Amino acid sequence: MKRFLCGAILFGAVFSIGSCAKGQTPPLSGKESEDSTEGAWQYADTAMGTVVQETVYAEKDIANCFYESSMELLGKLEKEDLSWRLDTSQVYRINASAGEKEGCQISGEMASVLESCLELYERSQGAFDVTLGSLTRLWDIDKWAAWDDTGGFSCPSREAVEQALSLCGSERLRIQRGDGPGSGSSDAKVFLPEGMRLDLGAVGKGVAQSRLRDLLEEETGITGAVISLGGSILTYGVKTDGSPWKVGILDPGDTSSNIGILTLEGGWCVSTSGDYERYVEADGVRYHHILDPATGYPAQSGVRGVTVLVKEGILGDGLSTACFILGPEKGMTLASEYGAESLFVMANGEIILSPGMESYFQEK
């Protein structure tokens, strides 16, 4: 655990959104300081394969306690729910059950996550698809994330991509809620056809944001907090000096700087998807990690990064991935259907904002 003590720390520090690019050291603290005040505590660690940074405005003991609980929550979420590698998780069990007639028992919470994913699949016309597991495994995306040497990668053959694509498609994923009275039954079953696999990589951080916000709400002694989970940032409550939260949006062309700043009150989930977050190079070609289910290859929508601003984490995370694939026109329409604001950074450097985003974003 790495903990940064901060009796008087960077208030108004600009948190940069967007995971650091491969090969770079993960950022472990706010990038700029605008002013400073006492009463906030900063922490940095890793969880769910990414860097977690927290700034908590509370008494020291309460902040420390929240930090410990939040890291425990993230560890549990990975271990018990989302990991496709750990045999203790629901996703692992679902994947292992593929093809079984009796399906796989899952929690009501997991069923809700999958239901949101299915809705986004439909509304994005298949661009967002959590059943891409066979394809993401073929591309070996998980290995690219480790900031490790990815030597040895070679682009999969078209036949292999076609074969993997034949094992994808959320329309084939079925969720059955328990028979208990009312719609809030506590458990459910999921049925995944043989050979298919889930990959919840596009929504995991969003799910974590929602759970962290619930945890913050349980702790009455916390007046404000900002939590960064790789490409996703959660703002909560207020700072002691009443100044707004500042979130920097990384420049996809130079991830050591920001293209601009979002100025936000508490209660927002900010999520970014970008082609610079995970990628691999082979034979002079650069492949990124957001795959277009229509082709099986990295999406080529002319977008380099998308940031989505919304109140519910899972929506923001899912939407930023979907918007990356759909491009600005369709993506912005989709985001607005969910009441979300969006910002697209295009390959030619153009920045395209939804109308509502204009009041939050200030270009550098």
Contacts of 280 (CB under 8 A, 6+ apart): 22, 144, 150, 153, 286, 287
Pick one of 321, 326, 341, 357: the residue that binds ligand AMP (CB under 6 A): 321
Find the residue with minimal CB distance to Mg ion: 321
Are residues 123 and 321 in contact, defined by beta-carbon separation less than 8 angstroms? no
Are residues 47 and 71 in contact, defined by beta-carbon separation less than 8 angstroms? yes
DSSP of 31-100: S--SEEEESEEEEEEEETTEEEEEEEES-HHHHHHHHHHHHHHHHHIIIIII-SS-TTSHHHHHHHTTT-
Strand pairing report for 245-251 and 14-17: parallel
| Nearer to Mg ion (CB atom), residue 199 or residue 317 | 317
Q: How far is the CB of 242 from ligand AMP (least distance, A)?
A: 32
Cα distances from 187 to residues 76, 111, 181, in angstroms, run 18, 8, 12
Q: How far is the CB of 305 from ligand AMP (least distance, A)?
A: 10
The listed partner (Mg ion, ligand AMP, none) that binds 313, CB under 5 to 8 Å by sort, is none
- Residue 341 binds ligand AMP, judged by CB under 6 A: no
Pick one of 19, 235, 321, 342: the residue that binds Mg ion (CB under 5 A): 321
Is the torsion defined by CA of 153, 159, 162, 167 positive or negative?
negative
Paired with 52 in beta bridges are: 45, 229
Pick one of 39, 317, 319, 345: the residue that binds ligand AMP (CB under 6 A): 317
Pick one of 202, 233, 250, 345: the residue that binds ligand AMP (CB under 6 A): 202
The listed partner (ligand AMP, Mg ion, none) that binds 136, CB under 5 to 8 Å by sort, is ligand AMP
| Nearer to ligand AMP (CB atom), residue 111 or residue 141 | 141
- Residue 201 binds ligand AMP, judged by CB under 6 A: yes
- Residue 113 binds ligand AMP, judged by CB under 6 A: no
What's the half-sphere exposure (Cβ side, CA atoms, 13 Å) at 283? 4
Contacts of 46 (CB under 8 A, 6+ apart): 26, 52
Q: How many residues bind ligand AMP (CB under 6 A)?
A: 22
CA distance 154 to 48: 26
Task: Give the pair of three-digit tokens for residue 287.
Answer: 């492949």
Q: Which stretch binds ligand AMP (CB under 6 A): 33-41, 174-182, 284-292, 333-341?
A: 284-292
| Nearer to ligand AMP (CB atom), residue 11 or residue 324 | 324
Cα distances from 154 to residues 114, 140, 160, 208, 277, in angstroms, run 32, 10, 12, 33, 19
- Residue 317 binds Mg ion, judged by CB under 5 A: yes
Q: How far is the CB of 232 from ligand AMP (least distance, A)?
A: 8
- Residue 199 binds ligand AMP, judged by CB under 6 A: yes
CA distance 211 to 217: 10
**Residue 363 exposed, middle or buried by CB count within 10 Å (0-12, 13-18, 19+):** exposed
Residue 124: count other Cβ atoms within 10 Å of its Cβ: 21
| Nearer to ligand AMP (CB atom), residue 42 or residue 83 | 83
Q: How far is the CB of 128 from ligand AMP (least distance, A)?
A: 5
Q: How far is the CB of 252 from ligand AMP (least distance, A)?
A: 13
x/- string (CB under 5 A) for Mg ion, residues 163-202?
---------------------------------------x
Q: How many residues bind Mg ion (CB under 5 A)?
A: 4
CA distance 289 to 73: 26
Are residues 269 and 311 in contact, defined by beta-carbon separation less than 8 angstroms? yes
| Nearer to ligand AMP (CB atom), residue 39 or residue 201 | 201
Q: What is the largest CA-CA distance in the chain?
A: 60
Q: Which stretch binds ligand AMP (CB under 6 A): 1-9, 152-160, 173-181, 286-294?
A: 286-294
- Residue 290 binds ligand AMP, judged by CB under 6 A: yes
- Residue 354 binds Mg ion, judged by CB under 5 A: no
* Interface ranges with ligand AMP (CB under 6 A): 127-130, 132, 136, 141, 199, 201-202, 231, 273, 277-278, 289-291, 293, 317, 320-321, 325
* Interface ranges with Mg ion (CB under 5 A): 202, 317, 320-321
